[in-house]
Amino acid sequence: AAGQKTSIKDELLKLQKAGLAKQHQAKYKSSDTGDGAGSLMTPEEAKTFLAEQKTASKKGTINPTPPQGLSSGDLDSWYTQQKQREIEARKKREEAEAILRGYRGAWDGSKSGSGGGGGNGSSSALSSSSLESGPEPSDARGVFQAMDSQASSAGVGEGGTTVKNWRKSAAASGEEKKLDFDDEKKNEATWNFINNAPGSKYVPETGRYHIYVSLACPWSHRVLMVRALKGLQNVVSMTVVHPIWQRTAPSSPTDRHCGWVFADPESDTPLTNADGVGGPFPAAYAKNSPDPVLGAFSMRDIYEQAGDADGKYTVPVLYDISTGTIVSKESWQIMRMLNACFNEFAENPSLDLYPPAERNRIDEVADWMYPAFSNGVYRCGFAMTQKAYDESIDSLVNAFDRIESILKTQRYICGPNMTEADVRLFVTLLRFDEIYALYFKCNARSVSSSSVLLDYCRDVYQMDGIKETIDMEQCMAHYYCSHTDSIIPRGVGFVKKLEEPHDRAGVS
């Protein structure tokens, strides 16, 4: 009898979890077709998918051979596209695993229409800045750690980016994934590297590249910070999309996809969100503008024009104006290209946010900080059960306290110098009190209540060019209005606090 009761209880829990998933699926279904295709997997679908993956993985790593006659630049692109296919398979696998653990589908295709990212675009809740749209340092390390030696053999100076042997490097570090996937053309021209190698398709030039970003999206903010710190504002141009998601095909009654659109500063017509509620919002906030490159209506148009129509219309995007292609839509990759590949044009060429001597340390910090903190806030927000939330908030609090402890004794998260890890950290701390504490239920901690972290944020905020990358009005408008009831909280005036003096220079 006891065993029967346990069995019944287990079945009820399964049905409850399936019901939660189905409710979420019904409310936030994929809007490209209007019929829910590509929506959140149910637990049973997740189990089936993972079982199929387990069977496929026994076949070993797929190691296709590149076509003959490719130039070095095209060969680099070919290899990175193979890596992208593996990353996409990992994303879906992680989505299935997250469903079974009780979280919303972080890699749900219907959400990937930013932040991300990085900021995504669709009608799904909490998705604009959900999980990173590409690999974190643990996945990217094999690619970038091999660059220096490859650059010398290819005649490229430091910061050159060739990745012919990424697979060999990744395998040596244990990062190569054993996957079986369909070798179909996917995400072409979105995993490329700018470099000066002979035959490279993308070479560093002034005025050739354009960045599409959202000031609300933390993944976009990373890119903007690196651009500002390196002094590339006059080298790589940018356009800031409107923070409130809109229908990307408003003339189609059946296409309900929602995402990033470009602003119209000349319009006097106020906006609501995509559900017709909230606002009225201005047709353009400060720094929003129309698309100067293609005259596009939305980021979806940019992707489709470039031949990338898989529904993941994210920001940031690094766009090559001369070829009409997307160089990259991965924030970590764009950050590192801006850091290393435009030094001949940069105002601050000596600044290296990912120096070779510090890369292991930077990657080690990112390995624990990303899942528990940067992405931890989203895990709290995505939690569908109390157990999932409790696990996530515990990890977040531990990471918060660890960061605070480290910064008590050193000025920056990896030591005495500002690095890429600080860029990653700052964008989360900046949004913590105003957004994550309330919207994602992360109120167990507060940056304003920590003298250490508040002073650290002041230090970064007051660096040349950083203040100009911040717009809390757009951040709050996006998070609170693109998905839900569109009521923006009054806020705590966090950015105003960053104007005050700090004494971080005295921290050893």
- State residue 247 phi and psi, 5-degree precision: -65, 130
Cis bond upstream, residue 316 (ω within 30): yes
The CA distance from 287 to 334, in Å, is 21
The CA distance from 87 to 94, in Å, is 10
The CA distance from 489 to 436, in Å, is 12
The closest of 201, 232, 186 to 320, measured between CA atoms, is 201
If DSSP codes are grouped into helix, strand and coil, which group holds residue 443? coil
Residue 213 near residue 311 (C-beta atoms within 8 A): no
Q: For this structure, is 378 an active site residue?
A: yes
Selected catalytic residue, list 378, 412, 439, 461: 378
Selected catalytic residue, list 217, 341, 380, 457: 217
Both tokens assigned to 368:
């624990």
The closest of 352, 485, 498 to 418, measured between CA atoms, is 352
- Give 155: exposed, middle or buried? Use CB within 10 Å, 0-12, 13-18, 19+: exposed
Both tokens assigned to 255:
């296409």
The CA distance from 87 to 146, in Å, is 19
Both tokens assigned to 295:
């005259």
**DSSP secondary structure letter of residue 467:** G
What are the catalytic residues? 217, 378
